[in-house]
Amino acid sequence: MIMAPRLRKFSLAAHIALSVGWIGAVAGYIALDVAAATSRNAKTLRACYLAMELIAWYVIVPLALASLLTGLVMSLGTKWGLFRHYWVLISLLLTIIATVVLLVETQTISYFATIAADPATSSDDLQSLGSTLVHSVGGTVVLCVILVLNVYKPRGMTRYGWRKQHVRKPGPGHKEEL
């Protein structure tokens, strides 16, 4: 089912806003992640880990899930379809993978925040916590690949897409046999 033009434009605007918001939220998260990876100051480390948890759970996760949902709506409600073009399938798979990795990584982030929130945690213990920088930078790369795929829409139809495109549609006086 193809969406009406106004609904399609609204859905597209929502999808773009949520997807770009996801990338922007990760950029803010990376700033905190870099500070946590490079700082030796206990107060800075505590603040970074606590803020990283808030951004992850209350901004990045909702944007990721909403972006996935609106992407599905866009693929199912437009001519591109969900299974017709390789770029749509690759975008979907990368988005699912990024979201799953994010949900797994939030457990580590929450663990770091729990330790940072404990006033009894020493400065040395905070410094030994580590960083999620590899995941956040890697996630940003994946999100940028998805963005490029969705802007350039490289050619290449799936077998399903070819079949759907080449199915003969009956002409106006054709009656379907029962």
One pLDDT digit (tens) per residue for the chain, 178 residues: 789 999 999 999 999 999 999 999 999 999 999 999 999 999 999 999 999 999 999 999 999 999 999 999 998 888 878 888 888 999 999 999 999 999 999 999 999 999 999 999 999 999 999 899 999 999 999 999 999 999 998 888 777 767 777 775 665 665 655 4
For the record, the structure tokens of 8 come out as 């399609």
For the record, the structure tokens of 114 come out as 């729990």
Among residues 126, 119, 117, which one has the least CA distance to residue 40? Answer: 126
Is 12:31 a contact under the CB 8 Å cutoff? no
Question: How far is 124 from 122, CA to CA, in rounded Å?
Answer: 5
Task: For residue range 125-147, list pLDDT tens digits in order.
Answer: 999 998 999 999 999 999 999 99
Residue 152 CB coordination number (10 Å) = 9
What's 4's DSSP letter?
P
